[in-house]
Amino acid sequence: MRRIGMLTSGGDCQALNAAMRGVVKSLFTSGEAIEIYGFLDGYKGLINCNVRMLDGRDFSGILTKGGTILGTSRTPFKTITEPDENGVDKIAAMKQNYYKLGLECLVVLGGNGTHKTANLLSEEGLNVITLPKTIDNDLWGTDMTFGFQSAVNIATDAIDCIHTTAASHGRVFIVEVMGHKVGWLTLNAGMAGGADIILVPEIPYDINKVISKIDERDKRGSHFTIIAVAEGAISKEDAKLSKKDYKEKLAKSPYPSVSYEIAAAIQKKTGREVRVTVPGHMQRGGSPCPYDRVFASRLGAEAGRLILEEKYGFMVGYKNREIVKVPLKDVAGKLKSLDANSSIVKEAKWLGISFGD
Ligand code: F6P
């Protein structure tokens, strides 16, 4: 009998259920005797042994379902070695529960923070396999994460809807897209939605360049402008600040987010009407798009195969159109940022899109 533990950690996204279903289907199809233990609400479930034994019925009908049937939460890696609110040693508790249940392997679905803890557990001797989830697409070692394409669809829909209103009113519209550290989602949704200006964390902007683009469009007779702004977009001036000083500046800012600061600056300098739309967590919600359903199922199927072959310590990822296994130690702690000199950024610029740089 093989006993497999499974958990989802960090922010949710589309296709988490599809991926778990993929793992379980792949394991059950082998015909081996397998028990699946689902830990509830992320690493918290493993720490507190809040666990449920799952069977085939739990995974039936969930391919198209958003969210996660196991629930999720954030357990920050930076405090993983500190005791939790009940004084529990988190790492020791996770290991103890893993051995107590007689698990052969732990399947962890998550993003960057989740992978750091997964790698630590692997280094501590647990058999771990991970799957790359996040709408941010910022995990090192994989060209794609599941959730990303679904979020691109939703953010693009938001920009599409704003487009008609912006054109009718001749206004400047900012659509704030998720992504505090990276701009993959903003870039892709921005290009798909025909944004005129795209501001991402990796390419600090100059507000005067942003305004020049608005003016240039105006002179050409296009009296509206769509700006796709990542949550973590940063001005050239702010990019010069130390992390600590920038954090302090944000804490004191009268604006709820960078988009409102940009809107106020444009309004002040040009007198134009600017509106901000924030689709927010809608971007992580709803049914996964067909791409994500297929992609997450493929990743899950490969994870199942690795478990059957007893190959552990890997993230199942996607490189050069192939499903691959990447050592966890190579993934943990690294961010896959957008390269300001990448071909997609150059092509966007050739299309006339401004990055405000
Ligand atoms: O990591 C995914 C993500 O959706 C980011 O794009 C976003 O900045 C963050 O999570 C929001 O986190 P929370 O759900 O905790 O507000």
What is the Å distance from ligand 1's center to 139 Cα?
Answer: 14
Q: Which residues pair with 105 in a beta bridge?
A: 4
Residue 41 annotated to the active site: no
Average pLDDT over residues 192-212: 98
pLDDT of residue 309: 97
Work out whether the CA dihedral 300, 305, 307, 310 comes out positive or negative: negative
Nearest protein CA to atom 13 of ligand 1, as residue: 11
Mean pLDDT of all residues belonging to the chain:
97
List, in sequence order, the alpha helices (H) in the chain. Answer: 16-29, 43-47, 90-100, 112-123, 148-169, 184-192, 207-219, 236-239, 243-252, 258-270, 290-308, 328-331, 343-350
pLDDT per position as a tens digit, 141-171:
999 999 999 999 999 999 999 999 999 999 9
Domains and CATH numbers, the chain: 2-147+288-331 (3.40.50.450), 152-284 (3.40.50.460)
341 confidence band (pLDDT: 50, 70, 90): very high
Nearest protein CA to atom 14 of ligand 1, as residue: 11
Nearest protein CA to atom 5 of ligand 1, as residue: 179
What is the Å distance from ligand 1's center to 283 Cα?
Answer: 10
202: CB partners within 8 A, 6+ apart = 182, 183, 337, 338, 339, 340
Average pLDDT over residues 309-330: 98
For residues 120 and 92, the answer to whether their CB atoms sit within 8 Å is no
pLDDT of residue 328: 98
Distances (CA, A) of 94 to 44, 85, 131, 356: 9, 15, 19, 46
Task: Give the separation between CA 243 and CA 310, rounded to whole angstroms.
Answer: 42
Counting ligand 1 atoms within 8 A of each CB, the residue from 135, 182, 184, 185 with the most, and so the one to mutate, is 135
* Ligand 1, atom nearest to 178 Cα: 6
Residue 347, SS3? helix
118 confidence band (pLDDT: 50, 70, 90): very high
Nearest protein CA to atom 15 of ligand 1, as residue: 11
Q: What percent of the chain has pLDDT over 90?
A: 100
95 confidence band (pLDDT: 50, 70, 90): very high
What is the Å distance from ligand 1's center to 280 Cα?
Answer: 9
133 confidence band (pLDDT: 50, 70, 90): very high
How crowded is residue 301: how many other Cβ atoms within 10 Å of its Cβ?
19
What is the Å distance from ligand 1's center to 12 Cα?
Answer: 9
Nearest protein CA to atom 10 of ligand 1, as residue: 11
* Ligand 1, atom nearest to 111 Cα: 1
pTM over 0.95: yes
Q: What percent of the chain has pLDDT over 70?
A: 100
Average pLDDT over residues 244-262: 97
**Which one from 12, 41, 58, 136 is the annotated catalytic residue?**
136
What is the Å distance from ligand 1's center to 227 Cα?
Answer: 20
pLDDT of residue 293: 98
* Ligand 1, atom nearest to 181 Cα: 8
Residues with a CB atom less than 6 Å from ligand 1? 11, 111, 134-136, 178-180, 231, 284
